[in-house]
Every structure is written in structure tokens, then in C-alpha cells.
Amino acid sequence: MLNSPVTPFGSFLTRLGGLLHLIPPKMDENTLNAFLSSCVRDREIFLRLAEEHGSPLYALDRNRVKTQVKQFRNAFEKYLGPVSIFFAVKSNNLPEVSRLMVAEGIGLDVSSGVELQQACEAEAEEIFFSGPGKTDEEMTAAIGKRDRVTILMDSFGELRRLDDLTRKYRTTVRTGIRLNTDGSGLWRKFGIPLNALHDFLREASHAPFIHLAGLHFHTSWNHRPTTQMAFISKLGCVLRELPTRLLDPLDFVDIGGGFWPEEGEWLRTGGTRYGMIMNLLFPRHRDNQSRFQVKSCSIDTFARDIATALRAELLGRLRCRICLEPGRWLSHGAMHLLVTVVDVKGRDLAITDAGTNAVGWERFEQDYFPVINLTQPGIEEHACAILGSLCTPHDVWGYSYHGKDIRPRDLLLIPHQGAYTYSLRQHFIKPVPRVAVIPEKAP
């Protein structure tokens, strides 16, 4: 039998059908209900906080910061012994968060001169300065703080400019090399390719004031340690081929961050690849109600599997300490948003006193977080567009709320906004919320 020709439309449908496997599992309602119940249990704390400080409000949970640091450290030290942890300031640049992290005995990872200044003001004893495109002014500032700063060089150009600056000031600085983990697309902007490591080490060895002390790499959005382990294996292969004299000065390997919180990634349909395509094809029939969960493994699993890879591939070749740069994992649950209902324009539309300039982008058209009515608490869900007060239609908190009813002056909670929310806030139309600290519980 002759094969039937495949029409362009038929090919399109075949490819579209192939996208079905990209749909993550729908969120387990028991998981959601347990999360809602835990939030409602603390309603009196949030109500008092809003009564004292007003609304809208960022609510910072110091206890949660301390708990996360302890859990992260215990997990990795269980399998690796002492490790060095650096909080990625970009994930939450509230100065109080940096001070809390330093008080818990960890360093700070910064990506700009502004963050470097904040880290110094927080009295961080050790700072990693990473990020591409460091200016001469930023590197000069880092040289001035050489007693506590390690500069993670991002390119050959940065190496040469730093060499010139250190010769000019006749000052030795401690440095590391950022290695690129993905040479495709926009991720090419970070670090040098692995196959250029030998040339970089050799060139750096001729810079008299550059003390090259370590290697750094970072993979992002890790729901499990697979990608991190794969790159550790690649790095191990490269290191086995390098001369010992070039590796002997190295005393740290920084495996970056990118650890996703254990509760997983919560998405709306528009946050999935399949949903993006369907919403483009059928814009008048958008699915705003379905919720999906990309599951993540525990931090103990991350630590166990990464430790196994490190021992197999690197620790036999290098005598070094292991450094980690968690940001999202430490700060995700450490801050919440409190907003107040200003207007109810029917049973299916409510306007709050805060806009999504408080989170910096139209986050909740892709990501899912429940909107919880603390004034009329309950875990039952009601369909209702919960919108902000910005003069733009893309000002969305959610498409439903949990509670008994919704009325003007009700206080709403949008939980777990500690990572990449405060840092991305913007002064657009409305002012950004103030910050209040949740009273610490006795140990």
C-alpha cells in the first residue's frame, strides 16, 4: 500500500498531539487543602500585622529563613561534611533578609556593585561576586573589598580587564572561574565553555595579582539533581585531562543553586507549554481554572545524589571545599503578600488595593498561588477574578479565592512570595507595599 502524503495541516496536528506529554500532572487537591489549612492557622498573625502596619504589605517570616538555612545545611553536611553556603541576594534583595542570612552563618552571592555594597553593609564575612558583564567600576569596588570578596570571572575579557586593574593597583585578588553549562540559546551569556578551561587556567596563571582559587557553575530551575549531576560528570572528564600544576591552586568548587522548593512548581494552564499553545490557538476559550504541579524532590535527595556525583567525579581529583548558592530554596516561603479588597464589582470580580507591580510582572497568569480570604476564612473555593488596582488588564492575582465570601475591606493572603517577588517589584502607577516582620515564635 502506498503511504498517504502528509499534509502540512496533518503534520501540525501530529506535532500538536505530541505536545500532550508536556502537560504536567494536575495538582493534588489534598496537597492544596493541607497548604491552605496551614495558612489559615496563622490568620490571626496576619490580621494583627495588617491592623498595625496597614495594607498592602509584605510580611517577612524570620523563623522560616532560619529553618530553611538549617535544613539546607543539615542536608548537605549529612553527605559531604562541612560546606560553604552563599545566599543569592538577587532572589530577595530586602536588606533584612541579607542580614538574617549572615546572622545564620552563611555568605552572600552578589551579581552587581549595588548588591556588593548591600552585602558589605550586612557585614558578610565572605562574598562571591558572580554575574556576567562586570564593569571596571564594579571590579574596582570588589578589589577594594578583597579581604572578603571572591570574584567569579565570567569570560576571558573579564580576566584580562581584571589583570589590568590588579596590576594598576598592585593588589592581589581571590578569584574563581564560571563555567558555562548550556552552550545553546541565551544561556551562552554565562561563563566560559568547558573546552576553554585549560586555556583559561593557563592564561590566569600568568596574571601576577590574580589568585585563581576555584571553579563555579550553575544550572537553574532544578526540580531534581539530574542536570547538576550530568555537568559534574562532564567537568570530571575535563579535569582528568588537565595538568596537575594548573589544578593544585584550586581550593573550592561552587555548584551554584537553582534548587526548586520541595512543594514543586505550581502552574496555571498558561504556564505549561501545551497551555501556551492552546491559549494562542483559542484565545477566547482560555483555561484559567486548571492547576498543575511539577513535582520536586526533597533537599535531602538533592544533597545525597549530588554528593555521590562529586565523590565519583571531582573530590578524588581536587582537594577542595564545596560551595552552594541557594536563593529560591531559602527565601521562597519566607515572605507573603497581604492585600485588601477595595471594590467588589459583582460575585465574579473583586479589586484589591495592591497591583502586581508588587511582584514585578504578570506572574499569576502563568504561576499559581492561592488567594486566601483571611477575614472570612475557609478552604472552599469560589470562582472570582481577583484583580489589582493598576490601570492595566494584566493585573491579576488569581481567578478564584478560598473563603466563605468576599467583601470590601476583606484581607487577602497571597502566600510564599519570598523568591523573585520583592526583588522584581517596580514603581509602576502605584507605590510598592511596605515590609513588616512577623513576630518570631519562641524556639
Q: What is the pLDDT of residues 334-376, one digit of tens each?
A: 999 999 999 999 889 999 999 999 999 999 999 999 999 999 9
Tell me: pLDDT of 4 over 60: no
Angle at the Cα of 298 from the Cα atoms of 188 and 441, rounded to 5 degrees: 110
In 3-state terms, what secondary structure has residue 336?
Answer: strand
CA atoms within 13 A on the CB side of 215: 30
Backbone angles phi, psi at 84, to 5 degrees: -110, 125
Helices (H), 194-298: 197-204, 226-239, 244-247, 273-281
User: What's the rounded Cα separation, in Å, for the pair 323 and 58?
Assistant: 30
CB 68 within 8 Å of CB 82? no
- β-partners of residue 291 are 268
- CA-based nearest residue to 332, from 272, 415, 250, 401: 415
Q: Does the pLDDT of residue 9 top 50, yes or no? A: no
Confidence of residue 11 (pLDDT cuts 50, 70, 90): low
Q: Are 60 and 334 in contact (CB under 8 A)?
A: yes
Cell of 331: 527565601
Rounded distance, CA 349 to CA 141, Å?
Answer: 51
E strands along 310-395, which residues? 321-324, 335-344, 349-352, 372-373, 381-387
Q: Tell me which long-range contacts 164-170 makes (C-beta under 8 A, separation of at least 24).
A: 165/136, 165/139, 165/140, 166/207, 166/208, 166/209, 166/210, 167/208, 167/209, 169/140, 169/143, 170/209
- The C-alpha atoms of residue 225 and residue 223 are separated, in whole angstroms, by 7
pLDDT value, residue 280: 79
For residues 411 and 336, what is the distance between their CA atoms, to the nearest angstrom? 13
User: In the numeric block, which cell numbers belong to residue 135?
Assistant: 564593569
Please check the confidence at residue 12 and state whether its pLDDT lies above 80.
Answer: no
More confident of the two residues 143 and 276: 143
Compute the distance between CA of residue 92 and CA of residue 424 in angstroms, rounded to an integer.
Answer: 9
Q: For the residues of 281-327, what is the DSSP string, one character each?
A: H-GGG---S-EEEE----HHHHHHHHHHHHHHHTTTT---EEEE--S
Query: Is the CA virtual torsion 94, 95, 96, 99 positive or negative?
Result: positive
Q: Which residues pair with 332 in a beta bridge?
A: none
Q: Considering only CA atoms, which of 228, 308, 216 is closest in space to residue 260? A: 228
**Which amino acid would we find at residue 141?**
A
Q: In this structure, what DSSP letter does residue 192 have? A: B
Judge if the upstream peptide bond of residue 56 is cis by omega within 30 degrees of 0: yes
The predicted model gives 121-142 an average pLDDT of 98
Domains of the chain: residue spans and CATH: 28-59+333-437 (2.40.37.10), 63-262+297-331 (3.20.20.10), 263-296 (no CATH)
**Alpha-carbon distance 359 to 351, whole Å?**
16
Average pLDDT, the chain: 93
* pLDDT the model gives residue 24: 79
Q: What is the pLDDT of residue 135?
A: 98
Q: Taking residues 135-154, what's their average pLDDT?
A: 98
Residues 10, 68: Cα–Cα separation, whole Å: 51
What distance in Å separates the CA atoms of residue 37 and residue 43, rounded to the nearest whole number?
A: 10
- Residue 16's pLDDT band, with cuts at 50, 70 and 90, is low
What distance in Å separates the CA atoms of residue 303 and residue 83, rounded to the nearest whole number?
A: 11
Q: Is residue 190 very low, low, confident or very high in pLDDT (cuts 50, 70, 90)?
A: very high
Q: Which of 1-5, 248-252, 346-350 has the lowest mean pLDDT?
A: 1-5
> What is the per-residue pLDDT for 270?
86
Radius of gyration for the alpha carbons in the chain, expressed in angstroms and rounded: 24
In degrees to the nearest 10, what's the CA dihedral of 435, 107, 117, 62?
Answer: 10
